[in-house]
Amino acid sequence: MTAAGVMTAGKGAAPSRIFVPVLIFAPCLLVYLVFFVWPQLSLLAVSAFDRGQVSAAHYIRFFSDEYYWELLGAVVRSFGWMVLFFRDGVVSNLLLALGLIDQPMQLMYTLTGVIIALAQVLLPLMVLTLHGVFKSIDPDLEHAAMSLGAPPWLALWLVTLRLARGGIIAGSLLVFSLAISAFATPALVGGARANVMATTIYEQTIELLDWPFASALSAILLVFVLVISLLYAKALDRRSAGEAAS
């Protein structure tokens, strides 16, 4: 073959070498465009319209309402816990530095991590509930108990905590209601390894499409919450009746 023929064959082979990878990659690109890019663009387009006109009303509604900021904050807070709970995260490294553990520990995707994250979220609600209750208790009652010979811990148990039972019960019910219905924190921190009722119902409904079983789970959860709430209400009624009798 002459030199001119070799050069012509080389020029013809170069486009084919480029065309083959493009042809192989094209189905992936098509799937990506159809199932990811197009839905995202459609989502943005829908959000930019209000009653048939281009408008930013929906975004203004989000950023002007404190409720939606709290929802966004819950997600951001959960991502913060994710950074702390990984095997090479701050918590694991701190425990290793203190000599409390011998090898890296991962709280991410565990029920323990979910409990810690939810406790951090819900603890302020319990504290705020009890703050008003403890403020309303006369400190002289505790001082009187100690003047009669009761040690501080016994005065705390017999006087302060007994008078604060109503607030403790009410705060516990509030925290219980929010914890059992929590979704964002268990889903992000617990993942698929630490399922709770809310994430299980979501999985059965959205991923497995087993709507009858998801409905059964929802009904069971509803009945369970109602029973607990009735028991809490009964405990509060007993306390109120006891105070009225005394």
Residue 56: pLDDT band by 50, 70, 90 thresholds? Answer: confident
Q: Which residues contact 121 (CB under 8 A, 6 or more apart)?
A: 74, 77, 182, 185
The percentage of residues in the chain with a pLDDT greater than 70, rounded to a whole number, is 89
Helices and strands (DSSP H and E) totals, the chain: 13, 2
- Say whether both 122 and 226 belong to one domain: yes
Domain range enclosing 79: 57-106
Question: Shortest CA distance to 130 belongs to which of 168, 169, 161?
Answer: 168
Q: How long, in residues, is the chain?
A: 246
Q: What is the model's pLDDT at position 241?
A: 61
Domain of 220, CATH number, reads 1.10.3720.10
Number of domains present in the structure of the chain: 2
Residue 206 lies in a domain: yes
Residue 6: pLDDT band by 50, 70, 90 thresholds? Answer: very low
Pick from 78, 106, 134: which residue ends a domain?
A: 106
- Say whether both 113 and 102 belong to one domain: no
Q: Which residues contact 115 (CB under 8 A, 6 or more apart)?
A: none
Q: What are phi and psi of 83, to 5 degrees?
A: -65, -40
Residue 19 lies in a domain: no
pLDDT (tens digit, 9 = 90+) per residue, 81-97?
Answer: 777 888 878 888 888 88
- Say whether both 214 and 198 belong to one domain: yes
Mean per-residue pLDDT over the chain, rounded: 80
